[in-house]
Amino acid sequence: MALFSNTLAVIRQYLSSAVGDLIIGTPDSGTSTTIVDTMLRREDDYYNKLGYECYIYAGTNIGEAREVVDWQKGINTLTLDPAFTAAIVTTSLYELHRIFTELDYRKAINLSIESIAGKYLVDIKDESTIQLTSTTDNLGNTVYTYEYALPLSLMYLHRVITEDATAGVKLTGTISDASFTNGETITGLTSGATGELAYDAATYIRVRKVSGTFVTGETATGGTSGQTCSAITAVASETAGMGRWLNEDELRPHEWDIITSYPPKLKLNQSYPTIDEGLLLRLEGQGVQPIVTADTDVIYLPPAWVVQKAITFLPQNKIQSNNLEETYKAAVLISAREPLSLPHPRARRIVE
C-alpha cells in the first residue's frame, strides 16, 4: 500500500495555497457563463480587475478553465468567458487563481515529478498486461509462449503470480464470525460434497477441487477451522482465472527471469509446469510516478516535497512580479533534500 496518495487536484490546491493564490468555492447556481456564490464578498469588479482565472476541479465541467470577465457583488455573480461546455451546477466545484494559471501549476507539478524519477519508487501492481498464450506447430503440437513484453511503467519486479488455474464453486450464505483456514476441506452437511477452501469473504466462500454437488439451503463446514457457511442461498460454478490470485500460485524465483532488451521481457523457465493458456499474470514491482493530466490522477510522492519543488518550477516572471522571491528561495532549500524510496529487497531491475 502506498504511503502517500493524493490527487492532482489536492496537490494543486496545496501548491496554490502555499503561494497565496487560492480561493475555493461551491456554486449556489449558475449557467454556462456564470457562477452564483454568496460566499464571495468582494466589491464589484474585484475578480475581473485582478485577472482571476476560474478552474473547475470537480463535477460538471471538470478540467475547464475560464477567464473571469465580470463580478457583481449585489447578485453574487461571476461572469466567465468563453462559455463552459455545460451549465454550472452545485457540484461544479471551482478554484480562483490570479497569480498562476492551472496550466502553470500542472506543469510545475509534473516537472517536480520528473525531477525525482528513479529516486523515489512507487509500488505498481499490474494484472492485465500479460496473458499466458500458446500456439500450434506444423505437427499439431502445442507450443507454449515463454517470453512476454513487460509494461514499460515497471523499473523493478519482485513478484509474479498466476491466476488461480483451478475451477470451483462460490457458496453464498451466512458466514460464521471467525476465519476459515485456506486449503482446509469444506463439507456440505446435506449433500456430502467436498472441496478445498480457496478463500472466504464476508458473504461467501470459494471452494475448488470439488467432489459432488453442493446444494442451496445446506451448511458447509470447514474440517480444520470448524467455521461454517450456513443457509446457502446460491451455488455458482466458477471457471479458472476470474481475477483470483492465491499465494500458492506465486512463481518461485528460479521460474522467471528478465530479458533487459527494449522493450524488456519476462521470461518464464521452460520447465515451469503450469502454463495455462488464457490465465493472466499479476506483476508486483516498482516504477516511477507517471506525469498527471487529470484532476483525479493520483500522485504517490510525499506531498510536502512535491509542493516545495513545484514552487521552484513556477514561472519566474510571476514569482518576481508578485513578491514571492522569499517563498521561492525557501522552496529551493527545502526541496533540495530529496525523498528516497528504494527497491524491494527481492527486486530484479528491469530498466538499466
Quote the pLDDT of residue 2.
Answer: 61
Is the Cβ–Cβ distance between 75 and 36 less than 8 Å?
A: yes
This model's pTM is above 0.75: yes
Q: How far apart are CA 349 and CA 300, in angstroms?
A: 21
* Predicted confidence (pLDDT) per residue in 204-247, tens digit: 998 988 999 999 999 999 999 999 999 999 999 888 887 888 88
- Does residue 274 register a pLDDT over 80? no
Residue 351 banded pLDDT, cuts 50, 70, 90: confident
> Integer distance in angstroms from the first to the last C-alpha of the chain?
26
Q: Is the peptide bond before 82 cis (omega within 30 degrees of 0)?
A: yes
Q: How far apart are the C-alpha atoms of 58 and 72, rounded to whole Å?
A: 24
CA-to-CA dists, residue 127 to 96, 166, 346, angstroms: 40, 18, 20
Are the CB atoms for 275 and 130 separated by under 8 Å? no
Q: What is the pLDDT of residues 36-62, one digit of tens each?
A: 999 999 999 999 999 999 999 999 999
Residue 222's pLDDT is what? 96
Residue with cell 516537472: 111
Q: Spell out the residues 6+ positions from residue 227 whose beta carbon is closer than 8 angstroms to its own.
A: 175, 176, 178, 179, 180, 200, 221
Confidence of residue 273 (pLDDT cuts 50, 70, 90): low
DSSP state of 89: -
pLDDT tens, residue by residue, 285-317:
999 999 999 999 999 999 999 999 999 999 999
